[in-house]
């Protein structure tokens, strides 16, 4: 073990010789390949010009290039954490050399190089379990009990019909039911199959993580699926480890391996004792670089994920409530269907029913057994059809359709839904707790101010040389960002927006050379930045004079509190007394009041003996520092964010800003965004610091949480505490987060919204919805879509319950009073198809309107069927029942037609009533039901298809649908009766309703 701990030191000495050997071998192979190609062409001439294309023979070269190492031993090395085997390979750098990877500059990264590595070691993908086929959903649809009963009835009817009337005439009744049943099954299967495909697409998008790698001397972002063995991967807090690998360098790197081992304790990764990193684990703290040794199915994570399929049967709270509603309505339908069955059977066997010719259908023993069975099957089929009609299985379908549709449209609006329930829960949100940086602001940082001592520096030439060096050291070494300079001299900065802003300012304004500074110093210890500490520090040794220095960078007031002296404009060190400290605090407040993010730099030189005595503590000194300077970084507000905030407030949703910035910056940004009003700006209860909120008693927090608009200098724990308080007060809370430490808050919130650009993988996995563009306006769009989902479901419930109520009442009254079922089994199934599938398709795909944001949030405990819906559906159902029963009992005499045409009139009027009522259902409260109808092409298409199919059913499929052709006058009468739904709907909407839910009156 002792020998192993010295491996990095031993390796550094011969590393140049290793590289020289590698270069020699590489070029000798290239030369040999060139001579071999030339010899095969019987010529030793070099090509005079380069061809305009390159042919890559990947398979031939891949094995030879990596002949000294194989993927099995590499994969086993990491899986078994085998330090002895790693030593045999020559340590981590020995493995990197064997993989033709430069530990500093990465792999070459050309297409041929990547392809060879994928052939030799595999790609970073894993086979998914096969997706469910269309046939699977067809089989699932057949499992519905009512469908099975109908199929049995249809089969019996088919058999007896053919036996009695022959094949040519006898198949109509049973065949019609079969066709109708298969049509319902097909539509249901197609809808579920398409939804499943949609989930698969979303799953692929959500798994496509961007990874930072070093290729061809440059840090760049690639898809996780493009990572290959030999890649040098840069890891930061919150990143997911994209493949198995070995630790190269870094500081304070801790990894959460719970996804692999189940252990909740974070594991420290370092070069000496534990250099092993596993795919699928998360970086909990620190940063580092790794060399990839295994990808895809050669990793434990890949093998595990290949057996897991995403569960697309997640049931949302709304679906659970709808299932209860469906069950209740189904019980009523079952009761009515049973009564219809009993009454019909009694009437038949007592001789009270007559056939088409007026003869009694049952005459005891004189009636043939086939006729009795046929009659009983017909009665059962009608009862089952009433049951099918009454069960609103279209409700779950409507939810599925509207959720799938809204998810697809939300994706286009820069929001990716990870959990279905979030779609509908967002519609009930009463409070949104949002971050500042990148959400309310553009996250385009630029250094606009720098203070040295008490002086604002406009020209870098006025900075004293000794201070200039300290600034450059503090920026170049205490950073997770990188700088790449291409062949033309163009600079490319990478890292967080704050790091990029500081690096670009220091390079372009102060002439910093990061490479030289890093080469001349050795970093001894690092304390990485996180949202709780709000600062980062390094302990470093200068190689030129062997002196040891501490550099800190972070939130200005926190760094200032650690300082006991400062550098003035001339470069002299001056003591920091109380008056001077107050002066610096005023400078910080002044910059913050102009919406600048304030960052301070501090330094301290440590005596050698002091470092040696404290070396074992591994803690960077945090007191008696010297303040180098103060920096102001501008991050402008996003265009349109004020309008988005006002839209939320108008919709009854409170917007609270929770930020790590100081109270003055937070107040300035909140006022600019419209979160703070002019009268609240000086209100101490509206703007609070996280520490103050934390120190409140639980009772005080509950009293004041509603009044707080801005929480500054907050930690992730403060955010979590606020969310818990808001939820206890009955709020439905949506919260945005991007950091690893935001994960508890994102999980605790009713809707967790992570940031797609700045968000860490840990934050994304803890969230319900990912905001792909990090924009607050997209959060508002999610809110609008959430309300739209709920509103669309309510529209469909109103429409379907109207049909259910009317159909059940008509059939029950007709059977009990006259022993006749006005609508046949096929006709009922056709109405069911219109109502369930086509109706759901038309009403569940309405797009969000501005009206949705004019209402207060709907509570999650509010009844699904509101008083307004009861008013609308009862009025329409009563009209349909009265009209259709009139046609049932007096239709023959009114129109002077026979019973067959009268039944067709009833069927046609009933269907057309639903078509016209579908327009009424578009607007639950508004009187103008046609507003915005031209935007919903799908609605118009469904209406058009329904009308065309109805004409075909009545005019051309007479034997199939058991109808008679109608003349022009009869069609006009049906349309006129159905069209009355519109004026009735208009008049009914003028009737005021009580706010108290209708069903609560029944409890009294």
pLDDT higher than 80, residue 859: no
Q: pLDDT band at 753, cuts 50/70/90?
A: very high
User: Higher pLDDT residue, 809 or 913?
Assistant: 913
pLDDT higher than 60, residue 283: yes
Give the pLDDT confidence score for residue 417 in this predicted structure.
85
The mean pLDDT of 325-333, rounded to a whole number, is 77
- 535-558 per-position pLDDT tens digit: 999 999 999 888 999 999 999 999
Cα(112)–Cα(118) distance, integer angstroms: 10
- 374-415 per-position pLDDT tens digit: 778 777 767 776 776 666 666 666 777 777 788 888 888 888
The mean pLDDT of 815-833, rounded to a whole number, is 74
Nearest to residue 528, comparing CAs of 743, 247, 250? 250
Give the pLDDT confidence score for residue 812 in this predicted structure.
78
- 429-438 per-position pLDDT tens digit: 999 999 888 7
The mean pLDDT of 129-157, rounded to a whole number, is 75
**168 contact partners, CB below 8 Å, separation of at least 6:** none
Do 120 and 65 contact (CB within 8 A), yes or no?
Answer: yes
Q: What is the mean pLDDT of the chain?
A: 81
**597 contact partners, CB below 8 Å, separation of at least 6:** 437, 445, 498, 632, 633, 634, 635, 661, 665
Give the pLDDT confidence score for residue 56 in this predicted structure.
43
> How far is CA 549 from each of CA 310, 516, 537, 552, rounded to the nearest angstrom?
51, 17, 11, 10
Query: Which stretches of 310-361 are assigned E, i.e. beta strand?
Result: none
pLDDT higher than 70, residue 165: no
* Angle of CA points 183, 409, 735, to nearest 5°: 125
pLDDT higher than 60, residue 1003: no
Cα(335)–Cα(814) distance, integer angstroms: 16
Burial label for 313, CB within 10 Å (0-12, 13-18, 19+), is exposed
Q: pLDDT band at 244, cuts 50/70/90?
A: very high
Count of CB atoms within 10 A of residue 669's CB? Answer: 27
Lowest pLDDT segment from 635-639, 754-758, 902-906: 754-758
Do 316 and 142 contact (CB within 8 A), yes or no?
Answer: no
User: Higher pLDDT residue, 633 or 831?
Assistant: 633
The mean pLDDT of 673-692, rounded to a whole number, is 81
**528 contact partners, CB below 8 Å, separation of at least 6:** 237, 251, 252, 285, 286, 287, 480, 536
Task: In the chain, count H helices and then E strands.
Answer: 40, 26
In the numeric block, the tokens 């420290």 are attached to 268
**Residues pairing with 255 in the sheet:** 267, 283
- 865-921 per-position pLDDT tens digit: 888 999 999 999 999 999 999 998 888 888 888 888 998 999 999 999 999 999 999
At 114, is the secondary structure helix, strand, or coil?
helix
At 521, is the secondary structure helix, strand, or coil?
strand
Burial label for 61, CB within 10 Å (0-12, 13-18, 19+), is middle
The mean pLDDT of 200-226, rounded to a whole number, is 83
Lowest pLDDT segment from 272-286, 396-410, 461-475, 623-637: 396-410
At 698, is the secondary structure helix, strand, or coil?
helix
pLDDT higher than 60, residue 176: yes
Q: pLDDT band at 173, cuts 50/70/90?
A: low
pLDDT higher than 80, residue 791: yes
Do 502 and 631 contact (CB within 8 A), yes or no?
Answer: yes
Indicate the length of the chain as a whole number. Answer: 1004
Give the pLDDT confidence score for residue 29 in this predicted structure.
46
DSSP characters over 600-644: EEEEEEE-HHHHHHHGGG-----SSEEEEEEEEEE-PBPTTHHHH
Pairing of strands 282-294, 232-235: antiparallel
Q: What 8-state DSSP symbol labels residue 678?
A: G
- 660-682 per-position pLDDT tens digit: 888 888 889 999 999 998 776 66
Cα(979)–Cα(266) distance, integer angstroms: 69
> How far is CA 412 from each of CA 168, 404, 406, 407, 772, rounded to the nearest angstrom?
53, 13, 10, 9, 10
Give the pLDDT confidence score for residue 10 in this predicted structure.
35
- 497-519 per-position pLDDT tens digit: 889 999 999 999 999 999 999 99
- 19-61 per-position pLDDT tens digit: 444 444 444 444 444 444 444 444 333 333 334 434 444 444 5
- 92-103 per-position pLDDT tens digit: 999 999 899 999
Q: pLDDT band at 851, cuts 50/70/90?
A: confident
> How far is CA 29 from each of CA 36, 226, 350, rounded to the nearest angstrom?
10, 27, 101
Lowest pLDDT segment from 130-139, 216-225, 693-702: 130-139
* Angle of CA points 224, 225, 229, to nearest 5°: 85
Residue 355 annotated to the active site = no
What percentage of the chain carries pLDDT values higher than 70? Answer: 83
> How far is CA 195 from each of CA 786, 839, 957, rounded to the nearest angstrom?
18, 18, 33
Q: Which of 435, 635, 718, 738 is catalytic?
A: 435
Cα(127)–Cα(413) distance, integer angstroms: 30
At 523, is the secondary structure helix, strand, or coil?
strand
Do 793 and 843 contact (CB within 8 A), yes or no?
Answer: no
User: Higher pLDDT residue, 826 or 654?
Assistant: 654
């Amino acid at each position: 073990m002792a020998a192993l701990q010295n491996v990095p030191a031993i390796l550094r000495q011969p590393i140049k010789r290793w590289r020289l050997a590698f270069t020699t071998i590489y070029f000798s192979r290239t030369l040999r390949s060139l001579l071999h190609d030339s010899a095969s062409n019987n010529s030793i001439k070099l090509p005079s010009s380069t061809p305009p294309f390159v042919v890559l023979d990947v398979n031939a070269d891949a094995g030879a290039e990596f002949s000294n190492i194989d993927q099995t031993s590499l994969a086993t090395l990491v899986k078994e954490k085998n330090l002895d085997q790693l030593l045999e390979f020559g340590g981590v750098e020995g493995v990197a050399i064997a993989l033709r990877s430069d530990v500093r500059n990465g792999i070459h990264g050309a297409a041929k190089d990547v392809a060879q590595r994928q052939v030799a070691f595999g790609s970073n993908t894993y086979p998914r379990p096969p997706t469910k086929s269309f046939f699977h959903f067809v089989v699932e649809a057949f499992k519905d009990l009512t469908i099975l009963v109908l199929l049995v009835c249809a089969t019996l009817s088919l058999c007896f019909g053919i036996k009695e009337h022959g094949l040519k005439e006898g198949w109509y009744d049973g065949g019609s039911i079969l066709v109708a049943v298969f049509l319902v099954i097909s539509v249901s299967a197609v809808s579920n199959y398409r939804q499943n495909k949609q989930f698969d697409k979303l799953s692929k998008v959500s798994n496509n993580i961007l990874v930072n790698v070093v290729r061809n001397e440059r840090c760049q972002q690639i898809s996780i699926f493009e990572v290959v063995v030999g890649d040098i991967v840069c890891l930061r807090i919150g990143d997911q480890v994209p493949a198995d690998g070995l630790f190269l360098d870094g500081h304070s790197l801790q990894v959460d391996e719970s996804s692999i081992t189940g252990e909740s304790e974070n594991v420290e990764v370092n070069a000496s004792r534990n250099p092993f990193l596993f795919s699928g684990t998360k970086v909990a703290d620190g940063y580092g670089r790794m060399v990839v040794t295994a990808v895809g199915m050669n990793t434990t994570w890949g093998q595990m994920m290949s057996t897991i399929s995403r569960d697309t049967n997640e049931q949302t709270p709304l679906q659970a409530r709808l299932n209860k509603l469906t069950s209740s309505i189904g019980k009523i339908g079952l009761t009515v269907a049973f009564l219809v069955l009993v009454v019909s059977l009694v009437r038949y066997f007592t001789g009270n029913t007559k056939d088409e010719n007026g003869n009694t259908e049952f005459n005891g023993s004189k009636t043939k057994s086939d006729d009795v069975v046929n009659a009983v099957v017909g009665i059962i089929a009608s009862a089952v059809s009433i049951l099918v009609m009454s069960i609103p299985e279209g409700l779950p379908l409507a939810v599925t359709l509207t959720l799938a549709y809204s998810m697809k449209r939300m994706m286009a609006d820069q929001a990716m839904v990870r959990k279905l329930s979030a779609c509908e829960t967002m519609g009930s949100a009463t409070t949104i707790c949002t971050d500042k940086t990148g959400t309310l602001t553009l996250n385009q940082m630029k250094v606009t101010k720098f203070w040295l001592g008490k002086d604002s520096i406009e020209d870098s030439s006025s900075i004293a040389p000794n201070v200039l060096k300290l600034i450059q050291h503090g920026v170049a070494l205490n950073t997770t960002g990188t700088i790449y300079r291409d062949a033309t001299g163009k600079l490319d900065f990478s890292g967080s927006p704050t790091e990029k802003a500081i690096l670009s300012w220091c390079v372009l304004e102060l002439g910093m050379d990061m490479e030289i500074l890093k080469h001349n110093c050795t970093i001894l210890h690092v304390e990485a930045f996180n949202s709780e500490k709000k600062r980062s520090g390094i302990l470093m040794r200068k190689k030129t004079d062997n002196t040891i220095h501490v550099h800190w960078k972070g939130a200005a007031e926190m760094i200032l509190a650690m300082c006991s002296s400062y550098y003035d404009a001339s470069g002299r060190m001056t003591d920091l007394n109380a008056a001077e400290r107050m002066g610096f605090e005023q400078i910080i407040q002044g910059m913050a009041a102009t919406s600048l993010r304030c960052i301070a730099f501090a330094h301290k030189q440590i005596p050698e003996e002091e470092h040696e005595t404290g070396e074992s503590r591994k803690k960077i000194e945090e007191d008696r520092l010297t303040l180098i300077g103060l920096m102001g970084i501008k991050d402008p507000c996003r265009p349109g964010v004020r309008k988005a905030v006002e839209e939320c407030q108008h919709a009854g949703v409170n917007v609270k800003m929770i930020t790590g910035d100081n109270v003055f910056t937070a107040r300035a940004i909140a006022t600019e965004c419209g979160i703070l009003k002019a009268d609240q700006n000086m209100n101490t209860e509206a703007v609070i610091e996280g520490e103050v909120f934390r120190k409140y008693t639980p009772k005080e927090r509950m009293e004041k949480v509603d009044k707080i608009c801005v929480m500054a200098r907050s930690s992730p724990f403060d955010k979590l505490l606020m969310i818990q308080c808001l939820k206890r007060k009955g709020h439905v809370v949506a919260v945005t987060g991007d950091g690893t430490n935001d994960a508890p808050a994102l999980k605790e919130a009713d809707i967790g919204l992570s940031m797609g650009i700045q968000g860490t993988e840990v934050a994304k996995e803890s969230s319900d919805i990912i905001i792909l563009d990090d924009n607050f306006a997209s959060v508002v769009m999610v809110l609008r879509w959430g309300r739209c989902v709920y509103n669309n479901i309510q529209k469909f419930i109103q429409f379907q319950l109207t049909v259910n109520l009317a159909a059940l009442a008509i059939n029950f009254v007709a059977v009990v009073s006259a022993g006749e079922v006005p609508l046949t089994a096929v006709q009922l199934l056709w109405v069911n198809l219109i109502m369930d599938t086509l109706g759901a398709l038309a009403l569940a795909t309405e797009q969000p309107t501005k009206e949705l944001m004019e209402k207060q949030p709907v509570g999650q405990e509010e009844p699904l069927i509101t008083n307004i819906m009861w008013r609308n559906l009862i009025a329409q159902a009563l009209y349909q029942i009265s009209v259709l029963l009139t046609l049932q009992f007096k239709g023959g005499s009114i129109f002077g037609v026979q019973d067959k045409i009268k039944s067709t009139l009833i069927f046609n009027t009933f269907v057309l009533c639903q078509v016209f009522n579908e327009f009424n259902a578009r607007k639950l409260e508004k009187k103008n039901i046609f507003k915005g109808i031209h935007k919903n092409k799908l609605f118009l298409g469904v209406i058009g298809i329904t009308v065309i199919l109805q004409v075909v059913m009545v005019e051309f499929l007479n034997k199939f649908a058991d109808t008679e052709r109608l003349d022009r006058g009869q069609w006009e009468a049906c349309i006129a009766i159905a069209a009355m739904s519109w004026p009735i709907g208009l008049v009914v909407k003028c009737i005021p309703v009580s706010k108290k839910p209708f069903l609560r009156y029944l409890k009294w």
